[in-house]
Structure 1
Amino acid sequence: MNLRDLVYGLYARRVEGRLDHDQVPKHIGVILDGNRRWAKASGGTPEQGHKAGADKIQELLGWCAETDVEVVTLWMLSTDNLNRPEEQLVPLLGIIENAVRALAADGRWRVHHVGTMDLLPARTQTVLKEAEEATRTNAGILVNVAVGYGGRQEIADAVRSLLLDHAERGTSFEELAETVSIDLIQEHLYTRGQPDPDLVIRTSGEQRLSGFMLWQSAHSEYYFCEVHWPAFRKVDFLRALRDYAARHRRYGS
């Protein structure tokens, strides 16, 4: 171990030791940004960047388990990403499929897909469905894998689901107009039944949400980190938690 690693380890333990676990967010959303930029800076290929980013996920979940986080949402592929050229998209989907299989095989996490399943290739759909089924009874962290996800698409899907549900019940448009509410729409979101994210972390220095959990993040705190996702360290994670704990959440009041 060199001096830099020693100092880093001491600093990380110091930050962790001062962390108040009562102030830890229960649900963290993470925008996994910067894989390709990390690869370019390292002299690697985009595929190597995505693979390094996928490998980082298990580390993150381990840190979350150590700090009593209960739900983690990982934005792995947006609906916009599905428009990438086939030579870029096919390898990326393969890496995501392997990452989801690894999450299911780990045995600690409960995997749940959030996104529009119909937009994804059949093989990817199968991997996601099998991971959900295999981990359904696991007691660990609930891991939402956002694949083929877009915030506006989610709201559109929720409204469509609500309309179809009430059409099957024979509800008239007049009756529906009188009963529709925030709570009713929320029951049709991909994350129905889950707490909204307390903290949203975005790596790679970009300071925007890009449509991530538009509905659920209305009262979330945001933490923007300069480091690219594959280089995200435990101390970066702990700093995000420390920053969150120092804020006074107002919930619009």
Structure 2
Amino acid sequence: MSSGVAEKNMSVPTHVAIIMDGNGRWARERGLPHLAGHKAGAEAVARCVRAAMQRGVPYLTLYAFSSENWSRGPQEVSDLTSLLRYYLRHKVRELHVKGVRLRFIGELDRFDASLREELERAEDMTRDNTGMVLLLALSYGGRCDIVQSARTLARAVKAGTLEPDDITEAMLANHLWTHGVPDPDVVVRTSGEYRLSNFLLWQSAYAELVFLDVYWPDFTEGHFATVLDVYARRERRFGSRPVASA
């Protein structure tokens, strides 16, 4: 099966992570219900995935449902989870054919059993694919991610299999939900907001940040190209001498 990812260009980031913001405001400004904004946002996801594959990005993470989203109104939460269920049932095979591997990160046990089964099926179907890895952050919070990793290490210390002084950054990173995935090179947020909003806090320590003044439903392949162009012009310092992206 074709990998679905173009040959790697060194000026292209290995991992792009996106905070998809603005669905609600997009809908309100058009006098539409929130659900219309989320549906339009799902169409933008398809454009983004297509652009990432065409540009040869190996890893793409999309912030689809934050842990804070549970506090929204019951109807909107229901709309979001129903939309997720629809795409799991009707769009996963299309991604599978293209060689995309799906991973879901976050407090997945907060979803009902039937939706968790859908998530597991999608991961199982695409597990052996060798194309782009698409991570969807669902019921995800960066602080919670760090806490659950720390708890894992704490249990090892309590069991006597790990000394506290032996804990390293790499060890903690290996127990994050993103284990095995390179840290993002660039984190993008749409809608004109300038916050990380509890997204990949540990992993984004040295990521380039790009903020776009466009609502997520209006995000196009052209916006994705803009992100890559901005990234290619940045000098990545990592706290020391500059390292060119290109």
TM-score, scaled relative to structure 2: 0.89
1:79 paired residue number? 67
**How far apart are the structure 1 equivalents of 2:93 and 2:166?**
43
In 2, Cα distance between equivalents of 1:102 and 1:73: 20
1:197 alignment partner in structure 2: 184
- In the alignment, what sits opposite 1:133? 124
Cα contact 2:157–2:164 (8 A) shared by 1: no
The secondary structure found in structure 2 opposite 1:222 is: strand
Partner of 2:237: 250
- Aligned positions, number: 230
Instruction: For residue 146 of structure 1, report the CA deviation from its aligned partner.
Output: 0.2
**Residue 59 of structure 1 pairs with residue 50 of structure 2:** no
Amino acid in structure 2 at the alignment position of 1:211: N
Query: What's the TM-score, normalizing by structure 1?
Result: 0.86
SS at the partner of 1:154?
Answer: helix
Q: Please tell me the root mean square deviation across aligned C-alpha atoms, in Å.
A: 1.6
| Aligned amino acid, residue 30 of structure 2 | S
Q: Quick one: which amino acid aligns to residue 241 of structure 1?
A: L
Residue type at the aligned position of 2:105: V
1:149 matched to 2:137: no
- Give a deviation string over 1:170-221, Cα, whole Å, max 9, x none: 32xxx52121110110110011111100011111011110111000000000
Q: Matches of 2:19 and 2:176 in 1, distance apart?
A: 19
User: Shift of residue 167 of structure 1?
Assistant: 4.6
Preserved contact between residue 31 and residue 202 of structure 1 (Cα < 8 Å):
yes
Q: Aligned to 1:241, what secondary structure does the other structure show?
A: helix
Structure with bigger gyration radius: 1
Distance in 2 separating the partners of 1:252 and 1:100: 41
Q: 1:25-174 counterparts in 2 under 5 A?
A: 25-106=13-94, 107=96, 108=98, 109-165=100-156, 167=158, 170-171=160-161
Runs (5+) with no aligned partner, structure 2: 1-7, 241-246
Structure 1 residue 88 displacement after superposition:
1.5
